[in-house]
């Protein structure tokens, strides 16, 4: 894989191609028109600079929406450093625009797992004051291999269910050394982003990948949490027959009351066209 280095002060970003920046700027400009809350915060933070001289490390899906979040942190005065939480979701043009605008990024679409871990390490090498994590890989690395550095972290936030499960395990063991905000537990996250955002984006991905009609398909939804509810709701709207697998009896009954069939995963796996 060919990467390029782009110098930013004393830190060098690792990205695919800085020449992709114009396309990335176009995406960031478009998404800014659909993010009114961030626009209000950005306008306020540009004046007050609440993060002045702080370094914020972010391990996120690096696409237009999160890119605009990083630019908002930058507008608040922060030195923003980012790496990808998923090698396959990185948009190289958005990353190029972020680097061109002064944000340090270590991310390439399709990067290897070796590169993924190396970029995590490089992000933490910038000695951040606070973190924004997606999946808790950054927090986990700090607690496992960088315990002394972890003591210097003010705190951070985690947006995923999986990440919060990992954080709570650290907390139960008494080894979580800095506070983390469980963003996924916020009503606006799981009631809306999980249910409607994930519910739609899952089918966007399946439809683009398979180019198949959803109507008439048997769709198996594993788990009936807020993401599962959203996926099932959108599949129903597309004309699919829905089967839910769920070990929580209350959630399983909720799926039944919502009109879906519930059965063990082993049986559902034999029936599903999509799962």
CA distance 265 to 63: 34
Write out the chain in H/E/C secondary structure: CCCEEEEECCEEEEECCHHHHHHHHHHHHHHHCCCHHHHHHHHHHHHHCCCCCCEEEEEECCCHHHHHHHHHHHHCCCEEEEEECCCCCCCHHHHHHHHHCCCEEECCCCCCHHHHHHHHHHHHHCCCCEEEECCCHHHHHHHHHCHHHHCCCCEEEECCHHHHHHHHHHHHCCCCCCCEEEHHHCHHHHHHHHHHHHHHHHHHHHHHHHCCCCCCCEEEEECCCHHHHHHHHHHHHCCCEEEEECCCHHHHHHHHHCCCEECCHHHHHHHCCEC
Q: Where are the domains of the chain?
A: 4-187, 194-271
Q: What is the CATH number of domain 194-271?
A: 3.40.50.720
Q: Which of 4-13, 129-138, 145-154 has the lowest mean pLDDT?
A: 4-13
Copy the structure tokens of residue 130.
């606070």
In this predicted structure, what is the pLDDT of residue 190? 85
pLDDT digits (tens, 9 = 90+) for 46-82: 999 999 999 999 999 999 999 999 999 999 999 999 9
Tell me the backbone φ, ψ of residue 93, rounded to 5 degrees: -70, -40
E-only strand ranges, the chain? 4-8, 11-15, 55-60, 79-84, 104-106, 130-133, 155-158, 180-182, 218-222, 241-245, 261-262
Cβ atoms 219, 242 nearer than 8 A: yes
Copy the structure tokens of residue 35.
């993010």
Does residue 180 sit in helix, strand or coil? Answer: strand
Q: What is the CATH number of domain 4-187?
A: 3.40.50.1480
Residues 6+ apart with CB under 8 A from 268: 220, 243, 245, 275
If pLDDT is split at 50, 70 and 90, which confidence band does 8 have?
A: very low
Which has more pLDDT, 37 or 9? Answer: 37
pLDDT digits (tens, 9 = 90+) for 158-208: 989 899 999 999 999 999 999 999 998 898 888 898 999 999 999 999 999
pLDDT digits (tens, 9 = 90+) for 195-237: 999 999 999 999 999 999 999 999 999 999 999 999 999 999 9
In this predicted structure, what is the pLDDT of residue 188? 87
In this predicted structure, what is the pLDDT of residue 2? 39
Domains 4-187 and 194-271 alike in fold: yes
In this predicted structure, what is the pLDDT of residue 191? 87
């Amino acid at each position: 894989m060919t990467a390029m280095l782009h110098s930013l002060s004393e830190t060098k970003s690792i990205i695919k191609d800085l020449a992709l920046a114009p396309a990335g700027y176009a995406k960031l400009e478009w998404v800014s028109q659909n993010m009114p809350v961030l626009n209000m915060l950005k306008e306020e933070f540009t004046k007050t600079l609440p993060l002045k001289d702080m370094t914020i490390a972010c391990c996120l899906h690096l696409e237009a929406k999160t890119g605009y979040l990083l630019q908002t942190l930058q507008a608040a005065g922060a030195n923003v450093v980012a790496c990808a939480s998923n090698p396959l979701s990185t948009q190289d043009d958005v990353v190029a625009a972020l680097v061109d605008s002064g944000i340090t990024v270590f991310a390439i679409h399709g990067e290897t797992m070796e590169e993924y871990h190396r970029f995590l390490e490089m992000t933490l090498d910038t000695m951040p004051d606070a973190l924004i994590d997606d999946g808790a890989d950054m927090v986990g690395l700090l607690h496992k291999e960088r315990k002394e550095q972890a003591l210097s972290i003010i705190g951070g936030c985690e947006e995923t269910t999986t990440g919060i499960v990992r954080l709570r395990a650290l907390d139960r063991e008494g080894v979580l050394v800095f506070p983390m905000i469980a963003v996924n537990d916020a009503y606006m996250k799981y009631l809306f982003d999980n249910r409607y955002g994930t519910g739609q984006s899952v089918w966007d991905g399946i439809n683009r990948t398979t180019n198949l009609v959803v109507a008439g398909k048997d769709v198996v939804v594993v788990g009936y949490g807020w993401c599962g509810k959203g996926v099932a709701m959108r599949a129903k709207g597309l004309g699919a027959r829905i089967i839910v697998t769920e070990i929580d009896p209350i959630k399983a009954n909720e799926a039944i009351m919502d009109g879906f069939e519930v059965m063990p995963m082993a049986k559902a796996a034999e029936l599903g066209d999509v799962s």
